[in-house]
Structure 1
Amino acid sequence: MLKVQKYRVPVAVGAGLLFIALCGSSWFVLRQTGILENLGADSPQSELSLTQKDAQSLVLPLVSLSPQARAEQLMDIASGRQSLDQYRARYLLASDLIGQQQPEAALQWLEGLDAKYPQLASHIALKRAQAYTAMGDTANAEQAWQGILETYPSDPVAAHALYALGESNPEYWQQAIAQFPTHPRTLDIVRQKLQENPKQLNLLLHLAKSAYDTPGSGGIRDRLVNEYASGLQPQDWQTIAFGYWETREYDKAAKAYTKAPPTPENAYRVGRGYHLKGKRQEAKAGYQQLIRTFPDAKETGLGLRRLASLLPSQEAIPYLDQVVAKFPDEAPEALLTKANILEALGSSQSATQARQSVLTQYPNSDAAADYRWQVANQKAQAGNLAEAWQWAQPITTDSPDSAIAPEAAFWVGRWAMQLGRQEEATSAFEHVLAQYPESYYAWRSARFLGWDVGDFTTVRDVNPTLVLPKTRSRLPAGSDTLKELHLLGQNQDSWTLWQAEFENRQEPTVAEQFTDGVMRLGVGDNINGINQVWFLSQRETPEERRQWQALRAEPAYWYTLFPLPFFDSVVNWSGQRQLNPLLVIGLIRQESRFEPEIGSIAGARGLMQVMPGTGQWIADKIQLQEYDLNDPNDNVKLGTWYLDHTHQEYNNHSLFAVASYNAGPGNVAKWIRKYDTTDPDAFIEQIPFAETKGYVEAVFENYWNYLRLYNPEVNQLLRKYSKSQPGISP
């Protein structure tokens, strides 16, 4: 099982971004440290599963290695008999050699390959043209680019050719803009043209639509609004508003949505955008306009509830009554809100009736779960655990999809334990593992079932065996060429192709959104990649929910949500600090979502969000003369030192150490003096800072997910309970 001992790992050789399974990895390097093993396929066939031929491939397991590490094996395969593996080996060798400034050698491996490898024929032609260009062979390069236009005029690789040829003939650039509007080479053309002449409305709109979330896109939108408002059409405002919304400039989005085509969603976003930015009067006006213009729209029910939250109590009640009367999906929340208002106004009997209506009319709603949980906690705090159990238990059966359900199910088990009902407690903990295996409460339940997964006082020293996937999974969306490039680990090329293929950006399918998340992770856009996949949980239609649930059964889904970028640095510095690396990676995921240059409002920087003053204090302690908080290795070096320091401050109690990392040692010291620390689960419930309580649970939830995904023993144990647990084999 998991050995509880000081975690000592040799320094990993090599460097660079690690992302396993879907986006390349340093698997070979980490395997040399002795903590990683191979992953075997152990999941049912699905659209993400490899074909039998791919599963038996000798090339695909080499994708995660560096070009230097895989060169000899690829050459052996490439020199062998003709097969798909041979073609793949030749392509990878050529691509690697171009990247290593050896274009002449690359051309040898590309010779005649396009006829034998049709999946990548257009990209073989592209590699050939790139090789000639790198050699400075102008004549052959131009011939190769022209050949692409003649042979693959509609393929996105033609955008590369149009870009290259357009440097001497501007007509080619105009063709690229017209034919491949979202291709990265086309966007480069547009930007260059704007540098030459910034006042080109059509090109500004092109970037606003096709590159809404790239660096500098906010400035483009601002220019359009400030300089060209009179010339914009409603659909242009839709494009601008969507870009602002996606980049969380909600007040700007709200203003733009007022000029976009009138739809219920756009009208709702006017009010909500202002609401999120604290502009109460504008928000109220926006919601009222929604109600007047689209009185029966689905969005209006939520708009009425939002409007009620901005009004004095007496004025809010009529709007809540409208929700109850017309919008059953929003009615339970409206009834609870009304009950709280009535209670505050002294109408306790009416408040009780409203709450009872939630339980009787909408017993399966999130609102019913929230109310039951509120009462259960009140009973528990009063020492009446039997009644607390009775109030909480129905949540797990009546509202199993509620956000509160995993926590309620766990405490049903804890309260049963305290009442001496061990059989019921065990059943509750097993229910958490079966239904909510990804939750923080699954980790706590596993611990109470006696699993060796670390507890708050031992998790620092857990020494987990980790198993990484040998190969990538297939993509559920995109062309066959895209899927093949992805399997071969060609992250930048597959990302470029995906930009040309991904046209449905404002309303992507579930498969497209997941693919976009995977593609983003491949090029290091980690925060947006993870978010794209996480936001699939917000899909509402039954068919989309079915598709999302099907994805959740795939290992690739979870590997994308819980990737391992920079794990070589984490393993190195965790080993030197004698910290569990999965605890460190869990903290990094919560702090930065693996964005090396991210900064907080308070000034914290980098992967582990180290404050500059704290960084300098640590650097002085360890006599580090030069460092850069935006450098991943430096940041992890300093951050792990500080996490080790917080552990030492609290006698290696990881709950207090992690809480201190977020809230500071002063606050944690106060809480330890004020609250009973003998029951850590109860202590967490009493943390007065909602942010810190959520932070602690999120870090340990991350730790648990990395453990359940990459540790074979825990993985196999959990598979006995949960059908959605992806399988690995030791």
Structure 2
Amino acid sequence: MRASALERAGQTELAAKHWLDLARSPETVYRSDAIYRLAEIARASGNLDSLFILVSDYGRISTDIPATQRLETMISEILSELKRHSEAVDRLWSVYLSGPQTTEGKQAKYLLDRYRINYSFIPRKQTAPEFELELDKLDRSSGFNYGLTRVREKLSDPEWKSCEDMLLFYEGRFLSGIRHNRDALEVLTKHAERYPASPYRDRCLYHLARCAYLRDKDDIAISTIEQLKDEFPGTGAAADGLSLLGLLHLDRGRPEQAAASYQRWYQTRIGTKDESEALWRVGRAYWQAADYTNAASAFLLLAGFGERSDYYPVALYWASRACSINGDSTRADSLVNTLLSRFPYSYYSTLTRCLLPPDSELLPQNLETLALDQLWNSGSVHARKLALLNVLRIPELALREWNEANRELGSELGLYWWKAQLHLWAGNRLEAWRVIRNGLSRYITASGERPFDFYRIVYPLDYDPKIIHLANQYNLDPYFLFALICQESHYEEKIISGAGAIGLMQLMPATAKQQAKEIGRPFKEGDLYQAEHNLEIGIAHVAKLFEEFSGDSVLVLAAYNAGRSAAQAWFEEFGDLDRDEFIENIPYRETRLFIKNIIEHAAAYRRLYPDVIKTQQSKGTE
């Protein structure tokens, strides 16, 4: 804080002394910041020897890739000015390859493309290993469109003819990534025929099988999966192929064959992170085959993992349903009671209460937090600093100490709560919610004592007078709307999704424009970032969906998330199923979770805010 204040006051030399003290301290969380600032000061003062050393040190200890890229770009500019062009170009390639999708990486590529014009020097070309690294990073970061452009640039260049193996594979992979499955199938088939010994062959066969499945070329898909399994036994690619085969059979109405494929997949995943997922799919396939005995066995085995698996409440629910169908009512009731006692506020408990009145007692799971004096006396240097910064209410700096304190104290859950609390105090409720969702999620659906701000973070309620007013206007359930907004934006007014959905109700501009026209409201896209306008258009859209789908809230949610045509197609295909089965049969994972979460959220809002509607109505009367 002192160094930053001195810099703001123009006392750069004095600030540099404090930055240097921090840079020399291996224990401080500010070491990388200090080195970064010293590098910028060295650049401004022309102390190039110090600058090179500092940038090297920063790259070694910092995990901030964009910051490292900025410093390396700074070095390349200096090298260019000194006419050390080969070194400058190497630095720029390094910057680009460390993160092709970052703003800094794109800037480095632009500088490379312009290097000859800017410095009258022809830079060296990218090597094949460098290009392979670039493509791999683009694949991992879902940069499929840009990756495809880059691959096709090289395919049209005769100098890259010797790399056709790599280029063809990645062309097919990126085409499949942007869902051009017909073209991807053609390219990947060509690759598989030309390069039987390719190092990319396992991935090529998997994506070939997947594209064939998506193009309804089942014979090709099944034979390719068998080929993958034979050529690469025991590998992750072969296991993924078995999972794909199960999905294919299930999608084609062959649940018995799907169960057999998933069972083979499960056997390869025992002891891995995918074990629970594989076992869940085995159980679901048996259920859809009406083999409730084997379904119960799979679900009971999954439930036996307990809280080690995220599927615990799911398994309890479906195991109870299968046991009930099998006539084992005693075990079914026991499973229901376990579900209700351990996860009383989960989606599955919400369903269970509709099927069977609970007679179980809640099993409290209290979230114990560490008090400030416990942090101070913990023996952790960083925990003491964390406690002190908490007392001073400087949450931004306290968060800097949190990671090291957590490492020293061994991932203490009570300390994890402090991270959420600090983000809330710093004015970032959304980040506080992400902390809880990622590290304390089991406390959301369980009963027990919680810190004061816990539910304020998980289930916020803003703009409730406006929401209730619009709900009454359209004869909608306000709690349904509270839950929908919580799921879509967590009540963040200015949020925008990767797909371009905007604001509280995550409206796509085209949908919002049409809806605004229907309710006679002028439309500007920028209005969607304002709560009042977003709610007026979004809730009108929800009301219209309720009218179109005859008041069926599950279909409304399916249409809101995946579109009207998808929801209608699912209703026509399996709309006669019970609603719990209907939701599980929806092929889009995102939509399944969307619906389940909103049902869970709506129950939570009713529990936590039982009087909010009466309060608003009484205010209106007054």
TM range (shorter): 0.5 to 0.7
Q: How many equivalent pairs are there?
A: 515
The structure 2 residue matched to 1:606, chosen from 494, 503, 508, is: 503
Residues 89-108 of structure 1 aligned to structure 2 (within 5 Å): none
Given that 2:433 and 2:457 are in contact with CA atoms closer than 8 Å, whether structure 1 keeps it comes out as no
When residues 314 and 145 of structure 1 are mapped into structure 2, their CA distance, relative to the original with a 3 A threshold, is closer
Residues 1:637 and 2:535 aligned together: yes
Residues 1:158 and 2:158 aligned together: no
Is the partner of 2:496 in helix, strand or coil?
coil
Which residue of structure 2 aligns with residue 201 of structure 1? Answer: 89
Residue 249 of structure 1: how far off its partner (Å): 0.8
Which residue of structure 2 aligns with residue 280 of structure 1? Answer: 185
Given that 1:271 and 1:285 are in contact with CA atoms closer than 8 Å, whether structure 2 keeps it comes out as no
Is the partner of 1:326 in helix, strand or coil?
coil
Is the partner of 1:598 in helix, strand or coil?
coil
When residues 351 and 629 of structure 1 are mapped into structure 2, their CA distance, relative to the original with a 3 A threshold, is same
Is the partner of 2:526 in helix, strand or coil?
coil
Residue 244 of structure 1: how far off its partner (Å): 2.2
Given that 2:502 and 2:509 are in contact with CA atoms closer than 8 Å, whether structure 1 keeps it comes out as yes
Given that 2:516 and 2:523 are in contact with CA atoms closer than 8 Å, whether structure 1 keeps it comes out as yes
Is the partner of 1:180 in helix, strand or coil?
helix
Residue 445 of structure 1: how far off its partner (Å): 3.2
Residue 370 of structure 1: how far off its partner (Å): 3.0
Residue 327 of structure 1: how far off its partner (Å): 0.7
Given that 1:662 and 1:695 are in contact with CA atoms closer than 8 Å, whether structure 2 keeps it comes out as yes
Residue 169 of structure 1: how far off its partner (Å): 1.5
The structure 2 residue matched to 1:374, chosen from 280, 285, 290, is: 285
Deviates more, 1:403-412 or 1:388-397: 403-412
Per-residue CA deviation, residues 83-107 of structure 1 (Å, 9 max, x unaligned), is xxxxxxxxxxxxxxxxxxxxxxxxx
Per-residue CA deviation, residues 628-684 of structure 1 (Å, 9 max, x unaligned), is 256263565346533663586478764344234235568767877997679533454
When residues 484 and 213 of structure 1 are mapped into structure 2, their CA distance, relative to the original with a 3 A threshold, is farther
Residue 396 of structure 1: how far off its partner (Å): 1.6
Residues 1:394 and 2:284 aligned together: no
When residues 190 and 655 of structure 1 are mapped into structure 2, their CA distance, relative to the original with a 3 A threshold, is same
Counterpart residue identity of residue 428, structure 1: L
Distance 1:359 1:390 in 2: 20
The structure 2 residue matched to 1:628, chosen from 526, 532, 539, is: 526
Distance 1:290 1:479 in 2: 55
Residue 392 of structure 1: how far off its partner (Å): 1.4
Given that 2:340 and 2:349 are in contact with CA atoms closer than 8 Å, whether structure 1 keeps it comes out as yes
Which residue of structure 2 aligns with residue 126 of structure 1? Answer: 3
Residues 651-690 of structure 1 aligned to structure 2 (within 5 Å): 654-663=553-562, 679-684=578-583
Given that 2:248 and 2:258 are in contact with CA atoms closer than 8 Å, whether structure 1 keeps it comes out as no
Which residue of structure 1 aligns with residue 51 of structure 2? Answer: 174
Distance 1:526 1:290 in 2: 48
Distance 2:172 2:103 in 1: 27
Distance 2:592 2:134 in 1: 37
When residues 203 and 576 of structure 1 are mapped into structure 2, their CA distance, relative to the original with a 3 A threshold, is farther
Per-residue CA deviation, residues 545-590 of structure 1 (Å, 9 max, x unaligned), is xxx9xx77788xx999999499464556445445656864555545
Residues 1:248 and 2:146 aligned together: no
Distance 1:395 1:269 in 2: 38
Per-residue CA deviation, residues 93-125 of structure 1 (Å, 9 max, x unaligned), is xxxxxxxxxxxxxxxxxxxxxxxxxxxxxxx32
Per-residue CA deviation, residues 13-47 of structure 1 (Å, 9 max, x unaligned), is xxxxxxxxxxxxxxxxxxxxxxxxxxxxxxxxxxx
Per-residue CA deviation, residues 456-497 of structure 1 (Å, 9 max, x unaligned), is xxxxxxxxxxx99999999xx997699579857756667889
Distance 1:290 1:431 in 2: 55
Residues 1:319 and 2:197 aligned together: no
When residues 152 and 616 of structure 1 are mapped into structure 2, their CA distance, relative to the original with a 3 A threshold, is same
When residues 127 and 333 of structure 1 are mapped into structure 2, their CA distance, relative to the original with a 3 A threshold, is closer
Distance 1:648 1:469 in 2: 43
Residues 1:410 and 2:317 aligned together: yes
Residues 1:441 and 2:348 aligned together: yes
Distance 2:104 2:384 in 1: 30
Residues 351-500 of structure 1 aligned to structure 2 (within 5 Å): 358=264, 369-379=280-290, 388-400=291-303, 407=314, 409-414=316-321, 422-432=329-339, 440-445=347-352, 447-450=354-357
Given that 1:495 and 1:523 are in contact with CA atoms closer than 8 Å, whether structure 2 keeps it comes out as no
Counterpart residue identity of residue 177, structure 1: V
Percent identity, aligned pairs only, is: 14
Residues 41-52 of structure 1 aligned to structure 2 (within 5 Å): none
Counterpart residue identity of residue 170, structure 1: G
The structure 1 residue matched to 2:15, chosen from 145, 150, 160, is: 145
Deviates more, 1:211-220 or 1:479-488: 479-488
Distance 1:356 1:663 in 2: 27
When residues 403 and 652 of structure 1 are mapped into structure 2, their CA distance, relative to the original with a 3 A threshold, is same
Counterpart residue identity of residue 14, structure 2: A
Residues 1:699 and 2:607 aligned together: no
Is the partner of 2:289 in helix, strand or coil?
helix
Distance 1:293 1:666 in 2: 42
Residue 390 of structure 1: how far off its partner (Å): 1.3
Residue 247 of structure 1: how far off its partner (Å): 3.1
Counterpart residue identity of residue 413, structure 1: S
Gaps of 5+ in 2: 25-30, 116-121, 155-159, 213-219, 360-366, 405-409, 445-449, 472-476, 611-622
Counterpart residue identity of residue 125, structure 1: R
Per-residue CA deviation, residues 201-250 of structure 1 (Å, 9 max, x unaligned), is 35534644666664464464577689899444677557634642453114
Residue 395 of structure 1: how far off its partner (Å): 1.5
Higher relative contact order (CA 8 A, sep 6+): 1
When residues 498 and 417 of structure 1 are mapped into structure 2, their CA distance, relative to the original with a 3 A threshold, is closer
Counterpart residue identity of residue 92, structure 2: L
Distance 1:161 1:332 in 2: 48
When residues 127 and 344 of structure 1 are mapped into structure 2, their CA distance, relative to the original with a 3 A threshold, is closer
Counterpart residue identity of residue 391, structure 1: N
Distance 1:523 1:290 in 2: 55
Residue 142 of structure 1: how far off its partner (Å): 2.8
Residues 62-73 of structure 1 aligned to structure 2 (within 5 Å): none
Residue 333 of structure 1: how far off its partner (Å): 6.3
